[in-house]
Amino acid sequence: MSEFSSQWLALREPADHRSRNQALREQLNQVLKDSRVANTQPLRVIDLGSGTGSNLRGLAPHLDGDQHWTLIDYDPKLIEAARSALSKWADTSEPASNSALQLTKQGKHILVDFLCTDLSQHIEMILEQPADLLTAAAFFDLVAEPWLERFCSALSTPLYTVLTYDGSEQWMPKHPADEEALRAFHAHQATDKGFGFAAGPKAVDVLQHRLLGYGFEVSIAPSPWELNQTHDAELIRALAAGSAQAVGETGLLDAATLASWKAARQEAQHCTIGHWDLLATFGA
């Protein structure tokens, strides 16, 4: 099981939210408006690998009207952290039946329920649930190609997934070990994160091609992190430490090179980390 701490997810949340591709999000809104013209029910959204609920906080304010979200994660600690973070984020929060939360935010009613389950096992069952939208943030690079095939063959709702890592990184100033370290990091990205060997930086390409094969219309748009020392010093340090740990676990860099690279990256002035957002819908 790959574990994500709620501290790391909180640290990356502001960068995640500002990096999302706005044009693609507007396209999503138009798709939902067109498909729900006479529908007065709350918008039904399922979020995969929801962590502490960052995707809801980033997306719900931009979607029209009342909403009903189901947040799915296999880590019970993150589900509890989501409950608390969402209650703090909302304008009002009340317990609802079945351990759900009834929130209001900027005049919208948002019902949130939680499901603690392993998506590597139960994705087909999840995809059978009625929904207007399936979504995920920073999730699809963890999954494996055979899982993506299972996922795409069972998908029958619009999909909007954001911030999938594409493997590209530019750090300033440069360090002589950058290329070697990035190769090692990619090797680590391709290890098993609970779904079989992870698609890692290939995930968006694979997802896009499989979805096209199943008759979806697919749009992708870049959502890179642009981080600098003035605004994101803590995130840069944590990112460099996490990357160095992953690189170290591969054993592909010697200890002295790794230590020098880590120290330089933690003090980097600027970095760009490539991500993509993807929207898949059925054509008219």
Ligand X SMILES: C[S@@+](CC[C@H](N)C(=O)[O-])C[C@H]1O[C@@H](n2cnc3c(N)ncnc32)[C@H](O)[C@@H]1O
Contacting positions for ligand X (CB under 6 A): 2, 4, 9, 16, 49-51, 54-55, 73-75, 78, 118-120, 137-139, 142, 194
Closer to ligand X by Cβ: residue 206 or 264? 206
- The encoded tokens of residue 53 equal 């609920």
Closer to ligand X by Cβ: residue 91 or 192? 192
Closer to ligand X by Cβ: residue 50 or 223? 50
Q: How far is the CB of 102 from ligand X (least distance, A)?
A: 22
Interatomic CA distance for residues 202 and 7, integer angstroms: 27
Closer to ligand X by Cβ: residue 45 or 258? 45
Q: How far is the CB of 55 from ligand X (least distance, A)?
A: 5
Interatomic CA distance for residues 239 and 24, integer angstroms: 26
Handedness of CA 30, 32, 37, 41 (dihedral sign): negative
Closer to ligand X by Cβ: residue 92 or 121? 121
Q: How far is the CB of 143 from ligand X (least distance, A)?
A: 8
DSSP state of 42: P
Instruction: Count other C-beta atoms under 10 Å from residue 108's C-beta.
Output: 18
Q: How far is the CB of 19 from ligand X (least distance, A)?
A: 11
Inter-residue contact 170 to 272 (CB < 8 Å)? yes
- CA of 97: how far to CAs of 94, 185, 231, in Å? 10, 44, 41
Of 139, 134, 153, the C-alpha closest to 73 is 139
> Cβ neighbours of residue 263 under 8 Å, at least 6 residues apart?
none
Q: How far is the CB of 174 from ligand X (least distance, A)?
A: 27
